[in-house]
A and B are shown apart, each in its own frame.
Chain A
């Protein structure tokens, strides 16, 4: 039983991830192909919208992979290829949105919220430290209360 489980685990470890990129699409030049792979990881497949074209086996993803490689071979820079895609499909085609006026909230919003929060916490802590101790210290117990506590404590001692 254990031997079977171990064998199973070893076999699972030996499997390779299934690639969407088909051998026929790949470029002969390994350096260019590596660039193509990196670049296509940043390009969204518009059919299955949370996958990159490197991951997706949709028809359009394949077409875009082939197109991207053709342009790489033709000597386009990475930025030129991205520009080409954005002209047709908009910024959405890039998995990482560009930093520009309409995306400032997206990029810097979390930072702004964090800074505001930190300011709030700082103000809160400073105020508490600056406050007088008498204000927060509870009023002393009255004689009546002292007697009741003594009675309760006595009772507890007897039980123990």
Chain B
């Protein structure tokens, strides 16, 4: 009996060590935060249009179909890195994209889209970053998966990757569409 008791500290140590080691081994980034808004209605803001020939974003525009909402800015390096992926998504017509231009100069953002291409169906301007705070954004780029009812279902922090799209986001899109259909 007491032999077993002597092993107890070792056992406790093993549990604690495992708790701290597993996130490192699975390469989980501790700085990435889960969104508290998952399964809650996306904040409805009236965001003015960035471009003359493309609508902005009203509170009702997030409903109706499954879509990705992408916060971007022309001053943001990682946004430039993820842009080809957004362009590919738009070209494939995989899922509608909504852009929210975060704390940017309009002429800079328009120039940026002209240079790299415009993958978005709608672009709203969040000049002071207040809408982003309501979404829980803490660093662009961030991408939200919003379902047909206008609820946030998934958040991706940082530039989108092919892996994140193929492993998580696109399967979720399919699932949400199937669930609705």
Contacts and interface: CB of A to CB of B under 8 A. Distances in A.
Contact of B129 (A49, A60, A87): A60
B86 to A, nearest CB: 23
Given A49-B31, A89-B36, A90-B36, A67 B133 contact: yes
A25 interface: no
Nearest to A49: B31
Contact size class for A? Answer: 10 to 19
A73 interface: no
Interface string A35-65: 0000000000011010000000001100110
Interface residues of B, number: 16
A52 to B, nearest CB: 14
Among the interface residues A47, A60, A67, which one has the most CB atoms of the partner chain B within 10 A? A60
Interface string B110-125: 0000000000000000
Interface string B135-149: 110110000000000
B85 to A, nearest CB: 23
A4 interface: no
B79 to A, nearest CB: 15
Looking at chain B's contact residues, the main secondary structure is loop
Given A49-B31, A59-B103, A88 B128 contact: no
A47 B138 CA distance: 6
B107 interface: no
Contacts of A87: 36
A34 interface: no
Contacts of B31: 49
Nearest to A60: B138
B33 A90 contact: yes
A30 to B, nearest CB: 26
Interface of A: 46-47, 49, 59-60, 63-64, 67, 86-90, 92
Lowest 10 CB-CB distances: which A-B pairs, in order? A46-B138, A90-B36, A88-B136, A63-B129, A89-B136, A92-B33, A60-B138, A47-B139, A47-B138, A49-B31
